[in-house]
Each structure stands twice: as structure tokens, then as C-alpha cells.
A and B are shown apart, each in its own frame.
Chain A
Amino acid sequence: MTHSVDQAIRIKELTYRWPRQCADCLAISHFAVAHGERVFLHGPSGSGKSTLLALLGGVALPQTGRIELLGQPLTALSAHARDRFRADHVGFVFQQFNLLPWLSARDNVLLPCIFSTRRRERAGDPQQAAARLLTHLDLAPALWQKPAAELSVGQQQRVAAARALIGQPGILIADEPTSALDAPRQQGFIDLLLAETAAANAALLFVSHDIRLAAHFDRTVALADVNCAATEAAT
């Protein structure tokens, strides 16, 4: 895949409506994130956040409009190809419970290399890449072999970040990744995430309802400002 385009994420004239609903849930005329750009997307719950994530992940398709990730229009791909694309190019960090509890921390980090050949190859030696990331994210080696279920929430979130970063995907999407952390750790985790995405030259879309976390990002966008449907469909 070539990366001649300058945008990591580009959305144009998009509308989305969940099945069996009469109003659009999302209507975005334009939204873009540049390569390596770190964007804070501010959205309270009910603002169409998870719909946007589903669209960016390629598990849902808009009724109209375009979504391009790294220059690739998702709407042009089959469901199977969208799954492959997500595995290859997008790392996700969710609110919590990101990990498969029955796998060790290290095996959780290695998961993307199972689903994506591209990320396995880009990781070089996946074991070493995982070790490097976990060390970077300050997780003591003694914890690497522990089942994920036995880690603290903070440790789990760092493992999730390592997993999202392994194999250098072009885009990192974080959905309220700090909401399960206590306040002093929140900023620490965000700094880690910002540093690591910068090091990997990945675009970061950080979605949260908590505007106080927006301080260190390149840009802050309110979902309500881009989503024209929000005002009409708010419940």
C-alpha cells in the first residue's frame, strides 16, 4: 500500500443510520486527521461516538458518503477486506476490558500479529517488539507472563496500548481509554500514548467526554460540531 496521501482519516458527506431507526445518527460533512496528527475528539455519550468508531473500524458502512483510511476508501472494500484492513492498519484501545483475560500480557500484545501478516512483518521479531513496547510502557517483565486478568486496570490499559501499537499501524483509535484509571494516572497514560504514537508516526484519534484531558493534543475537535445529526437526533 502506498501512503502518498496526506490524510490518515478522511470523512466526507457521511450519513449513518442504525437499522430500524428513522433518524440519522451521524451526519458528518467533513472530518480529517493528518498523518501523525494527534487529535482529541470530544464527545459526551450519546453523541454518536460508538457509531463513529464502528464506521472507522469498518464494521459498519455509511448509507452515504466516504470514509478513507490512509487513502483507502473503506466503502470500496468487502466486509472481509475491511476486517483485514482493520487488522493491518488500525490499533484500538477501549475504555477497559481490552484484553483476553486468559492470555498472558505478552500474548495479548502479540494478538495483532496473529490476525495481520503485515503487522507481524513490520514488528520484525514480534517477541522482541512486544518486549520493547512493554518495557517502554513501563510494565515490569515479571508481569509479562501473568494472565491479563491478574493485572491491575492501569497495567491492563498499558498492555492494551502496547497491543494497539505493535506492528506500527498507521492509525490508533482510543475510546475513553483513561476512564477506568484514577486521575493521577490518567495524564500519565495519555502522555505515554502521545509519546508512543509520535515515535511510531501514527495518527491518534483520542475520543473522550472529558475535555480536561485535551491539553497535550495537536488539535481538539468537538463531535457535536462536526456531527450535524447530533442536534436533531439527540435523545
Chain B
Amino acid sequence: MRAVLLLALKSAWARRLTLGIALVAIALASALLLAVERVRSDARASFTQSVSAVDLVVGARSGAVQLMLYAVFHSGSATNNMRWESFEALATHPAVEWAVPLSLGDGHRGFPVLGTSAAYFDRLRYGDRQALTFSAGKPFAEVFEAVLGSEVAAQLGYRPGDHITLSHGMAELGPEHADKPFTVVGILAPTGTPVDRTVHVDLAAISAIHLDWAGGAPLPGLAIPAEQVRKFDLQPQEITAMLIGLKSRRDVFRLQRHINGYRGEPLLAVMPGVALDELWQTLATVEQTLLALSALVVAVALAGLTATLLAGLNERRRELAILRALGAGPREIFMMLTVEGLLVTALGVLLGAALLAAGIVALGPLLREYGVHLALRPPTASEWGLVVSILTTGLLASLVPGWRAWRISLADGLTPRN
């Protein structure tokens, strides 16, 4: 039997050009299907990993998803700010263990700038509750000191001691706070979360660079030099959002109700997990559609395989008759054809996985800018599931030419009819 299979391989090798084309089609289709699944699951993972110790995200009242997107992922923008007094009141709430303010809106060469407190570096957790670590330097201690995410530092080539200026707004060519440069004092280790793409400064610095600004532009005739900002009260009036960690998770619903009914101003508190679930539900239709389309592409590629094998059969009637004369039974002929199709499918899936890996290496950095971290790793259970379904469909697709060859070998016997 092994020798017969070897013969099938040699025969397939003789037709490697046509089979190769079918194989490439299957490879591309499999790569597409696996990529859709990979992006889907890894996008979820990287989003979920971004906030692993935060119990509540609080901001001015808007949508839960919107609040999560700008507070945690720094994408989009806040419709409203929350007042500093609200932050103070919540931070001192008896159920709250820690609270970190977030102030967004400025940028540095396309990377978001986050004004926060030094507690951010102690409190924020990512992935499986891992703490942030510094690959170089230390947290900021002075007003004009900045801590860079790993990717900011890597892409722009910054090292501790370098000076950077912030720009107003996220546009790369927005108006600059050029008069108040920052010193890079620390660089964070890579986390695979939006932290990597963020410039962190003290909340007071955000107030400082806007002292002589109003309405998004420098006030004409008023320029306060950097060395004099300390004389001013740098307590902000407003912040964008805050992160809260609780002493006990049991209090989460109680505090959430408290915040959502907060009397000082309309606020919204969301549990990150719940908000992300809401986001996934919104995206589920898109995901399903993409998966279905990719599955259809795979089906088309496998139909192409069936067509290729069937078309080849007519030219192989002599081959089949020779094999019959040599003692091959219809069953062996059937098996040779089916194995050939299955083999092409398997090699196609393998090539598709390789293409996906190459694509991740090539396009990974681009996707990271959107907060999706794709890593080279062994397939997940659901990816194995897809591979198995492609192989199963490939087997079904190969049964057709197998069955046809079986019929031909019975009808032709030893003398092929053309």
C-alpha cells in the first residue's frame, strides 16, 4: 500500500504545475481565513490585556465603548472632561484603593501624550496582571520630565536624557509647545498594549504647557517661560478620565452605581470587561461576515482543486488502464486520486500558515499602530478547528475525482476509451 501511495506522489509530481496552481489557491485562501481568525482573536486578546487590574474606568458621561476607547486605547477623543473635584472625591472614597488621573489631548510626533500621576506606573497592570517595568531610567519626578513607551523610544530613537517637545492635539504638525521642552527620564519595557505607544508626563505638566494657551492656541503677548511655571498653581481644573482600583471587587457594582448617579456632574463608570464585551458584540457581525467570506474563498479554492483533478483525469485514462493491467483495483485507483487531492490540500494549508507567519512578520508593526498585536505563536484551538475543517472539506473535494476515477477504471478496464 505504501508503494502505491508513493506511486501516487510520483504521478502528482509529474503534474506539479497544474496541481501547484491549485495548491497556491488553497494556500492563499487558507492564509486569508487563518488571518481573519488570528486578527480577530489577537485583537480581543490585546484589548483585554491592556487593562488587567483596573476595576472601573470613569469619565464624563458618554458611551461605555467610547470611554474605553479613548481612556485606555487613546483612540478617538473625549466629548467632555470630568472635573478635578470629582476625581478627588472619588479617589478618597472609602471603597477605592487607588485612583489614577488621565489627561489626554496632546501628542508627540503622532504618539499620544498622557498626563497622569507617578502612581500610574505602580498601579497599571497588563496581560496576566504584570506590572509595568522600566527598561531604562525611572518614573518622572519633575514637571518637565517624560517617560516613553517602548515603541515611541524605539521608533524615534530616544534615550534617557534626550529632549522632546509636545504638540497641541494629535496632528503631527499641530502647534508646538516648543517653549517648554521635556527631558526623557525613563523608557518602559514592551508590554504589547497601548502603553508602548504613549508618552507619559506628569499631570501638572499638561497644565504647565497650557498656562499661556487658550482655545487651542498660544495667547498673544503672554509667554510664561518654563522656569517660571512653578510659581503658578499647576493643579488641573479638569481631567479626561480616571482609572480606579478597588479594595474589594465586591464593591464594584455599588461604586459604579454611586458614580453613575454622581451629583456633582454627569459621570460614567464602566467595568473594562463589560465594555469590551459590548465592543465585541458590536463587531461580531463584521467578524462573522469576514469569516464567512473567507470560508467561501476556501470553498472556491477547493472547488478549483476538484476541477483540476477532474480535468486531469481525462488525460490520465491510459495511466489508470495501465495501473489496472498491473493489478491495481478500483479501490486503489480511488485511493490514489483521493490521497492526491488531500495531499494538495494539506500542503496548501501548510503553505497558507507559512504565508500567514510571513504576513505577521511583515505587517505586524503596521497593525500595532492600531493596538492589535499579532505575534508568531502556535495555532490556537479555534485555528486548529479551521485547519481541520479545511482538510475535511479538501477530503470531500477529493472524493469526487476519486469516485470518478473509480468509475472510469471500472468502465475502461484494461483498454482506455477516449
Supposing A80-B329, A87-B327, A111-B326 touch, asked if A92 and B11 sit within 8 A by C-beta, the answer is no
- The interface residues of chain B lying within 8 Å CB-to-CB of A101 are 14
Whether A100 contacts B327 by the Cβ 8 Å rule is: no
Whether A115 contacts B326 by the Cβ 8 Å rule is: yes
Chain B binding site: helix, strand, loop or mixed by DSSP? helix
- Of the candidates B7, B325, B331, the one whose C-beta lies within 8 Å of that of A92 is B325
- Report A98-157 residues with CB < 8 Å from chain B CB: 98-103, 111-112, 114-116
Supposing A53-B415, A114-B4 touch, asked if A80 and B331 sit within 8 A by C-beta, the answer is yes
**Contact-residue size bin, chain A (C-beta under 8 Å from the other chain):** 20 to 34
- Docked Cα-Cα span, A175 to B415, in Å, equals 10
- The interface residues of chain B lying within 8 Å CB-to-CB of A92 are 325, 414
- Docked Cα-Cα span, A108 to B283, in Å, equals 59
Q: A221 within 8 Å of B by Cβ?
A: no
A59-B410, A100-B319, A112-B326 given. 20 additional CB < 8 A pairs? A50-B414, A50-B415, A53-B415, A54-B415, A57-B325, A57-B413, A57-B414, A80-B329, A80-B331, A83-B324, A92-B325, A92-B414, A94-B414, A98-B322, A100-B11, A100-B322, A101-B14, A102-B14, A115-B327, A116-B327
- Of the candidates B319, B329, B415, the one whose C-beta lies within 8 Å of that of A83 is B329
Interface residues of A (CB under 8 A from B): 50, 53-54, 57, 59-60, 79-80, 83-84, 86-88, 92, 94, 97-103, 111-112, 114-116, 175
- Of the candidates B11, B324, B415, the one whose C-beta lies within 8 Å of that of A102 is B11
Q: B156 within 8 Å of A by Cβ?
A: no
Supposing A53-B414, A53-B415, A88-B327 touch, asked if A114 and B7 sit within 8 A by C-beta, the answer is yes
Whether A60 contacts B327 by the Cβ 8 Å rule is: no
Q: B163 within 8 Å of A by Cβ?
A: no
- Docked Cα-Cα span, A57 to B415, in Å, equals 11
- The interface residues of chain A lying within 8 Å CB-to-CB of B262 are none
- Docked Cα-Cα span, A57 to B324, in Å, equals 9
Whether B10 contacts A102 by the Cβ 8 Å rule is: yes
- The interface residues of chain A lying within 8 Å CB-to-CB of B324 are 57, 59, 83
Whether B413 contacts A54 by the Cβ 8 Å rule is: yes
- The interface residues of chain B lying within 8 Å CB-to-CB of A114 are 3-4, 7, 326
- Report B326-366 residues with CB < 8 Å from chain A CB: 326-331
- The interface residues of chain B lying within 8 Å CB-to-CB of A83 are 324, 327-329
- Docked Cα-Cα span, A83 to B318, in Å, equals 17
Q: B13 within 8 Å of A by Cβ?
A: yes
* A87 closest partner in B (C-beta): B327
* A103 closest partner in B (C-beta): B10
- The interface residues of chain B lying within 8 Å CB-to-CB of A116 are 327
- The interface residues of chain B lying within 8 Å CB-to-CB of A99 are 322
- The interface residues of chain A lying within 8 Å CB-to-CB of B11 are 100, 102
- Docked Cα-Cα span, A80 to B40, in Å, equals 51
* B325 closest partner in A (C-beta): A92
Query: In the complex, what's the smallest C-beta–C-beta distance from B161 to chain A, in angstroms?
Result: 69
Query: In the complex, what's the smallest C-beta–C-beta distance from B327 to chain A, in angstroms?
Result: 2
- Docked Cα-Cα span, A136 to B327, in Å, equals 25
- The interface residues of chain B lying within 8 Å CB-to-CB of A102 are 10-11, 13-14
Query: In the complex, what's the smallest C-beta–C-beta distance from A175 to chain B, in angstroms?
Result: 8
- Docked Cα-Cα span, A92 to B325, in Å, equals 7
* B324 closest partner in A (C-beta): A59
- Docked Cα-Cα span, A112 to B326, in Å, equals 6
Whether B414 contacts A97 by the Cβ 8 Å rule is: no
29 A-B pairs with CB atoms under 8 Å apart are A50-B415, A53-B415, A54-B413, A54-B414, A54-B415, A57-B413, A57-B414, A59-B410, A60-B413, A79-B329, A79-B330, A80-B329, A80-B331, A83-B324, A83-B327, A83-B328, A87-B327, A92-B414, A97-B318, A97-B322, A100-B11, A100-B319, A102-B13, A103-B10, A112-B326, A112-B327, A115-B4, A115-B327, A175-B415
Query: In the complex, what's the smallest C-beta–C-beta distance from B174 to chain A, in angstroms?
Result: 67
- Of the candidates B10, B13, B14, B325, the one whose C-beta lies within 8 Å of that of A94 is B325
- The interface residues of chain B lying within 8 Å CB-to-CB of A53 are 414-415
Top 10 nearest A-B pairs (CB, nearest first) are A87-B327, A102-B14, A59-B413, A115-B327, A83-B329, A114-B3, A92-B325, A54-B413, A50-B415, A115-B326
- The interface residues of chain B lying within 8 Å CB-to-CB of A112 are 326-327
